[in-house]
Amino acid sequence: MSLQSGPMLAVSGLTTEFPLKGGSVIRAVDDISFTLAAGRTLGIVGESGSGKSVLIRSLMRILDAPGRIAAGSVVFKGRDLLRIGEREMRGIRGRQIGMIFQNPAGSLSPVATVASQFAEAMRAHERVGAAAARDRSIRALAAVGVEDSAAVLASRPYQLSGGLIQRIMIGLALVMGPDLILADEPTTNLDVTVQEQIIAALRKVQRDFGTAIIFISHDMGVISEISDDIMVMYGARAVEYGDLRSVVRTPLHPYTDGLIRSVPPADIRPGMRLQAIPGYPPDLSRLGGSCRFASRCARVRPPCEANDPALAEQAPGRLVACHFPLAVTADV
Ligand SMILES: Nc1ncnc2c1ncn2[C@@H]1O[C@H](COP(=O)(O)OP(=O)(O)OP(=O)(O)O)[C@@H](O)[C@H]1O
Ligand SMILES: [Mg+2]
């Protein structure tokens, strides 16, 4: 990436809210900022309800009602996606930014042929004849490791395995040659072998086309396999952000540390207990002024009850939202 061209995607202060009946507001994404360069992967990890899906749906401007973006900017290839018209946005969605949804079964028709679903994805953006559509579908399927593409194109999703359907979803996200792919839990509920295949397929696409990827998961192990940088979300905020290796080696936030410790070791033995993080995530409709991780934090001290720490740079490129980050107070 040259400094002059800047990152492909620069998100700044993104804040998304759901107004509730009675006047209160849930801030599901709270002041999130990050950058992503071509050919790189940002992994976003965090437990259920931390705001991962709302974050990427905000980038695409496909929030469920009554969600609304309250603040921030999403600069993609020099244009702020939050300040362009819906018509222009439609030309970007699917074409320049591909999306793999959290629930593939819900976004593919089970009974329409795979070929017709590919053709439809292309025709949403341009006129394309039958032969060209077929050609491009075969190439997109090849890019995700589907070899027997003639048979796959002729079949209907209900006839296919979960792993194959997930590859088709990725192929569909790729067929327009997007610069950026947003993948929301693309490997959840798949067995480990298929997970590995999907990750390998995404990596290959990235190598071949320089595609940037945002990869969401609640699984730290999966995130570690694919990411260059990682953002840890907790209760709608980024609590840690940095390059993957440093974050995994020396996590600064106690929550990140807990997530890393809860990864099943490769040599897991029957009866071995995994270390999970006790407690529950905060209720976003009833946040007090304390650190939102305080009730679960083994290291909690009075300042943590007094105010919620902002994400701040602790070391070059290492951001953490904690009054007492781990590496700095390692003697505690
Ligand atoms: N339609 C909605 N109305 C009100 N609040 C919502 C709505 N959708 C999401 N939220 C709020 O946003 C929070 C974050 O939701 P989100 O779907 O982004 O979580 P997630 O991190 O993707 O979780 P998961 O791992 O389960 O997919 C929810 O806990 C909820 O408080
Ligand atoms: Mg989600």
Averaged pLDDT score across all residues of the chain = 90
pLDDT band at 101; cut points 50, 70, 90: confident
107, 172, 122, 106: which is closest to 144 by C-alpha? 172
Q: Please give the pLDDT value at position 3.
A: 47
| 48/326 Cα distance (integer angstroms) | 24
pLDDT band at 162; cut points 50, 70, 90: confident
Q: Please give the pLDDT value at position 252.
A: 97
Tell me the mean pLDDT in the region 11-18: 98
| 8/35 Cα distance (integer angstroms) | 8
Tell me the mean pLDDT in the region 31-48: 96
Q: What's the gap between Cα 296 and its chain centre?
A: 24
**CB of 286 sitting under 6 A from ligand 1:** no
pLDDT band at 160; cut points 50, 70, 90: very high
Domains delineated in the chain: 9-104+183-263+274-288+310-329 (3.40.50.300)
Are the C-beta atoms of 217 and 229 separated by less than 8 Å? no
pLDDT band at 329; cut points 50, 70, 90: low
Pocket test for ligand 1, best of 15, 16, 26, 215 (most atoms within 8 A of CB): 26
Please determine, for residue 155, whether its predicted confidence score (pLDDT) is greater than 60. Answer: yes
Residue 5 sits at φ, ψ, to 5 deg, of -75, -25
Please name which ligand lies nearest the alpha carbon of 233. Answer: 1
pLDDT > 70 fraction of the chain, expressed in percent and rounded: 92
What's the whole-model pTM score? 0.92
Q: Give the pLDDT confidence of 210-240 residue by residue, as tens digits.
A: 999 999 998 888 899 999 999 999 999 999 9
Pocket test for ligand 1, best of 14, 15, 18, 259 (most atoms within 8 A of CB): 18
Distance 185 CA to ligand 2 centre (A): 7
Distance 4 CA to ligand 2 centre (A): 34
Instruction: Return the residue whose CA atom lies nearest to atom 24 of ligand 1.
Output: 48
User: Counting atoms of ligand 1 from 1, which one is nearest the CA of 54?
Assistant: 18
Q: Give the pLDDT confidence of 278-326 residue by residue, as tens digits.
A: 888 899 988 889 999 999 999 999 999 999 999 999 999 999 999 999 9
Please name which ligand lies nearest the alpha carbon of 66. Answer: 1
| Cβ-proximal residues to 4 (8 Å cutoff; 6+ apart), any chain | none
pLDDT band at 193; cut points 50, 70, 90: confident
**CB of 44 sitting under 6 A from ligand 1:** no
Tell me the mean pLDDT in the region 152-159: 95
pLDDT > 90 fraction of the chain, expressed in percent and rounded: 67
pLDDT band at 130; cut points 50, 70, 90: very high
Distance 111 CA to ligand 2 centre (A): 26
DSSP 32-67: EEEEE-TT-EEEEE--TTSSHHHHHHHHHT-PPTT-
Tell me the mean pLDDT in the region 185-198: 81
Instruction: Return the residue whose CA atom lies nearest to atom 6 of ligand 1.
Output: 18
Q: How far is CA 148 from CA 142, 154, 281, in A?
A: 9, 10, 45
**CB of 50 sitting under 6 A from ligand 1:** yes
Amino acid type, 99: M
Please name which ligand lies nearest the alpha carbon of 50. Answer: 1
Distance 234 CA to ligand 1 centre (A): 12
Q: Give the pLDDT confidence of 40-74 residue by residue, as tens digits.
A: 999 999 988 999 999 999 999 999 999 999 999 99
* Nearest-5° Cα angle at 211, 208 to 217: 115
